[in-house]
Amino acid sequence: MEKTITIKGNWLTRKPHRNGLYATLFLTVILLFGTFIYLNNIFKAELLMPASYFSVFEQHQVWRIWTTLFAHADIHHVLSNLILFLPFAYYLSGYFDFIFFPVMGFFAGGCVNLVVLYTMPEKGYLIGSSGVVHWMGAAWMTLSFLIDRRESWGRRFLKVLGVSLILFIPDTFKTEVSYLSHFIGYILGVFCASLYYVTFSRKFAAAEVVEIEYDELPVSDN
């Protein structure tokens, strides 16, 4: 008797938790509020929020690697980040716990900024949340690849590769954009998501809905 195992459902085939919507709305408001404060220089935000090599490594104002995530150059800058931030925030917070996102995500964003600032000129400033957005995108696609096993490894890999190329490879390059923060954010997202999956692999495996079919072998007469 031959056995055929088919995965019909998994952790990601159920509906996202409604807290994902609330978390996404809250984080979006915080991001927009931070940008509003920065653009209008409320409480001298233009001096306090951005991060630079000098302020972080010479003046030891390490908190700037996180406050700069909420500062954007203009409305177009913040909206361009929100285009991807909104869906990824909804799915990450709707399917996974609060510690992974937003806590780990924004902690990783600060780490990305720290590395990028170390490579920048002393007086150059780094602002924006694009490093976090690339972390979010990479984290979601990595977890989707590892958890949703209804298709073959190769087919899943091609999907992740295709989506990554479409969403994260720019068609034009601008000198004012830190593409290094995008790259590091993406790589760190893959690493964090992989570590998260390994930590909770039993939970994800237990959520799989499996269908088993038995095929009787033909009986031959002697």
pLDDT in the model for residue 216:
65
Rg (CA), the chain: 22
Q: Write out the H or E segment, with its range, that includes residue 126.
A: strand 125-126
Q: Residue 7 pLDDT more than 80?
A: yes
| 45 pLDDT tier (thresholds 50, 70, 90) | very high
Asked whether the predicted pLDDT for residue 48 surpasses 90, the reply is yes
What is the helix (H) or strand (E) element at residue 62, kind and residue range?
none
Spell 156-183 as b/e; 16+ CB within 10 A means b: beeebeeebeeebeeeeeeeeebeebbe
Domains, the chain, in order of start with CATH, read 2-169+176-215 (1.20.1540.10)
